[in-house]
C-alpha cells in the first residue's frame, strides 16, 4: 500500500512567501511509518514540484491533501483528477474543520474528511482498507479526532528531500546580511494559541486547535539532533506565539545544553514582551521575531481583541533593539472601523517603528474573513437569509469577494484606498520577495 500526501500552494498568491517544510504532512508521514513500516509514504509538495509534476506522480492507493481556504479550489481540482485514477481521497486541514458538512453534501468524490489532527485518522483509514472495511463507492465520511494535548509524534525529516528547502535559506541571508550564512529548518514547539484560550480570538483568526506545547527537554533533544546533521544552524519555529509563557521560556533557557549554537526565528505577540523576556530571548539566541502590530490605532486594536496598544508595541521594539533582536512587523489593514484617519495612524506608526535599527521591514495585508474566524461569522450575521444563501451557501467561498464585502460593511473607507496605504506601508522598509 502507498500513501501520498500533497501540499498545494495558495490560489491567492502573495509576493511574500517562505519555502517551508510541510511539517503537518511530515508529522503524519512519520507517524504512519512508525506504526505501519510496510506502507510506502511520499510527500508531494508544490513548493518544490509543479502541479503537472504532482499529477504525473500520483500512483498511491490513498491521496491525502492539506486543505485550507486559500488553496481549496486547487485541492478540489487535484482530488477530481486523482479520483479519475480510482484513488481514495482524504482531505484534512483548517478548511475541513469549519466546512466539513458543506463539503460532504457537495463533493461525493471525496472519501474521507478529517477534522482535527490527521495522524491517527490516516492510520485508522489504512487499517480499514487493509482489513477490507472500505468499500468502493461508499458515501463520504467525516472522521473527527479529539484533540490530544499529549500527542506529539516524532518527526522524521529523512522522509523528505530537504535540499530544495535548504537552498531557500538565502531569504534570511538577504535580510540579515551575508555574514551569518544561515541554513534554516522549520520546527514547531507548540500548536494553538494561548491568548485565544484565555482571552478569545483576534477578529481575523481562524485557529481552532486547542493549545499544547512540547516540554523544554524534548525541544532541545530534537534541536540537537536536527543541528547535528546537514549543517543546520537556524530553527524557525512556526508556532503561533513563541513568547506566550515566561515560565516556559525560563525553563527553556535553564534546560539549554552546552554546545548548541543554534539561532532561532519565531513569532510573537507585541503585547506580552518585557525586559525579562527580552533577556531570555537573547540567551536563547533568538535573532528574529515576527510581530503582529496590525494597526497604529488603539481603538481598532481593542475592537480586534489584540490586547495591544501602540505604546506597549513601541516599548517592546525598544527592548528588543537594545538586545539586537531583529523584527519583521506585520499589519492587518481593514479591521472593523477602519477609516482613512486610522490608516494614516498606521502609516505613521510604521514610520516611527522604522527608525529602530532592528526593524527589518513590514508586511501589510488586508483582512480576509476566513471561514472559522469571528470576522466570517460577523459577516454572515450582517446579511438577510436570502443574501446569506447567495454568498455563503457554498463550500468554495470567493475570498476576494468576501474581503470586498467585509470592507464595504465594516470599514469607513473603500478597498482601493486601503490598498494604497498597504503599498505605502510595505514600501517604508521593503522585505525581499521570495522567488517562486
The C-alpha cell at 25 is 504532512
* d(C-alpha 364, C-alpha 292), whole Å: 10
Q: Which CATH number fits domain 162-428: 3.90.180.10, 3.80.30.20, 3.30.70.1560, 3.20.20.70?
A: 3.80.30.20
Looking at residue 412, its pLDDT comes to 98
**142: CB partners within 8 A, 6+ apart:** 100, 101, 104, 112, 113, 114, 115
Long-range CB contacts for residues 271-275, cutoff 8 Å, separation at least 24: 271/306, 271/307, 271/308, 271/309, 271/312, 271/313, 271/316, 272/241, 272/243, 272/244, 272/307, 273/243, 273/315, 273/316, 273/319, 273/320, 274/319, 275/319
**178: CB partners within 8 A, 6+ apart:** none
Per-domain residue ranges of the chain: 2-144, 162-428
Looking at residue 432, its pLDDT comes to 63
Looking at residue 169, its pLDDT comes to 61
Place of cell 506608526: 349
Looking at residue 435, its pLDDT comes to 35
The C-alpha cell at 72 is 481549496
With a cut of 70, list the residues of the chain below it in pLDDT: 15-19, 134-140, 144-147, 149, 168-180, 385, 387, 389-390, 432-436
* d(C-alpha 289, C-alpha 241), whole Å: 10
pLDDT tens for 239-286 read: 988 888 899 999 999 999 988 889 999 999 888 789 999 999 999 999
Residue 50 burial class via C-beta count within 10 angstroms: exposed 0-12, middle 13-18, buried 19 and up:
exposed
* d(C-alpha 273, C-alpha 252), whole Å: 16
Please answer whether residues 95 and 371 qualify as being in contact, where contact means their C-beta atoms are separated by less than 8 angstroms.
yes
Q: How far apart are the first and last CA of the chain?
A: 33
Please answer whether residues 111 and 90 qualify as being in contact, where contact means their C-beta atoms are separated by less than 8 angstroms.
yes
Q: Which fold has domain 2-144?
A: Rossmann fold (3.40.50)
Amino acid at each position: 500500500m502507498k500513501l501520498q500526501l500533497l501540499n498545494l500552494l495558495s490560489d491567492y498568491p502573495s509576493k511574500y512567501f517562505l519555502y517551508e517544510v510541510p511539517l503537518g504532512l511530515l508529522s503524519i508521514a512519520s507517524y504512519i511509518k512508525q506504526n505501519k513500516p510496510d506502507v510506502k509514504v511520499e510527500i508531494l509538495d508544490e513548493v518544490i514540484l509543479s502541479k503537472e509534476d504532482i499529477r504525473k506522480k500520483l500512483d498511491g492507493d490513498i491521496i491525502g491533501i492539506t486543505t485550507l481556504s486559500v488553496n481549496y479550489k486547487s485541492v478540489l481540482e487535484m482530488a477530481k483528477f486523482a479520483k479519475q485514477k480510482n484513488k481514495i481521497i482524504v482531505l484534512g486541514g483548517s478548511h475541513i474543520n469549519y466546512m466539513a458538512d458543506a463539503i460532504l453534501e457537495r463533493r461525493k468524490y471525496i472519501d474521507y474528511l478529517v477534522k482535527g489532527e490527521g495522524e491517527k485518522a490516516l492510520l485508522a483509514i489504512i487499517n480499514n482498507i487493509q482489513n477490507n472495511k472500505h468499500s468502493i463507492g461508499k458515501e463520504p465520511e467525516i472522521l473527527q479526532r479529539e484533540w490530544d494535548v499529549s500527542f506529539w509524534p516524532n518527526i522524521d525529516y529523512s522522509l523528505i528531500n530537504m535540499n530544495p528547502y535548504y537552498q531557500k535559506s538565502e531569504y534570511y541571508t538577504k535580510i540579515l546580511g551575508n555574514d551569518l550564512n544561515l541554513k534554516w529548518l522549520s520546527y514547531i514547539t507548540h500548536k494553538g494559541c494561548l491568548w485565544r484560550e484565555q482571552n478569545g480570538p483576534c477578529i481575523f483568526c481562524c485557529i481552532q486547535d486547542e493549545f499544547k506545547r512540547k516540554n523544554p527537554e524534548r525541544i532541545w533533544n530534537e534541536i540537537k539532533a536536527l543541528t547535528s546533521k546537514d549543517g543546520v544552524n537556524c530553527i524557525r519555529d512556526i508556532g503561533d506565539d513563541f513568547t506566550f509563557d515566561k515560565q516556559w521560556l525560563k525553563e527553556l533557557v535553564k534546560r539549554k545544553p552546552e554546545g548548541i549554537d543554534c539561532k532561532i526565528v519565531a513569532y510573537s505577540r507585541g503585547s506580552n514582551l518585557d525586559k525579562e523576556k527580552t533577556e531570555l530571548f537573547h540567551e536563547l539566541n533568538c535573532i528574529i521575531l515576527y510581530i503582529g502590530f496590525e494597526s497604529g490605532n488603539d481603538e481598532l486594536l481593542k475592537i480586534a481583541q489584540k490586547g495591544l496598544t501602540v505604546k506597549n508595541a513601541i516599548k517592546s521594539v525598544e527592548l528588543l533593539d537594545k538586545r539586537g533582536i531583529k523584527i519583521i512587523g506585520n499589519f492587518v489593514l481593514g479591521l472593523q472601523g477602519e477609516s482613512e484617519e486610522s490608516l494614516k495612524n498606521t502609516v505613521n506608526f510604521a514610520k516611527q517603528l522604522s527608525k529602530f535599527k532592528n526593524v527589518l521591514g513590514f508586511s501589510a495585508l488586508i483582512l480576509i474573513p476566513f471561514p472559522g474566524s469571528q470576522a466570517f461569522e460577523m459577516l454572515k450575521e450582517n446579511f438577510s437569509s436570502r443574501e446569506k444563501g447567495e454568498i455563503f451557501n457554498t463550500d468554495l467561498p470567493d475570498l476576494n469577494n468576501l474581503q470586498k464585502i467585509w470592507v464595504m460593511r465594516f470599514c469607513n473607507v473603500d478597498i482601493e484606498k486601503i490598498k494604497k496605504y498597504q503599498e505605502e506601508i510595505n514600501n517604508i522598509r521593503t522585505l525581499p520577495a521570495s522567488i517562486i
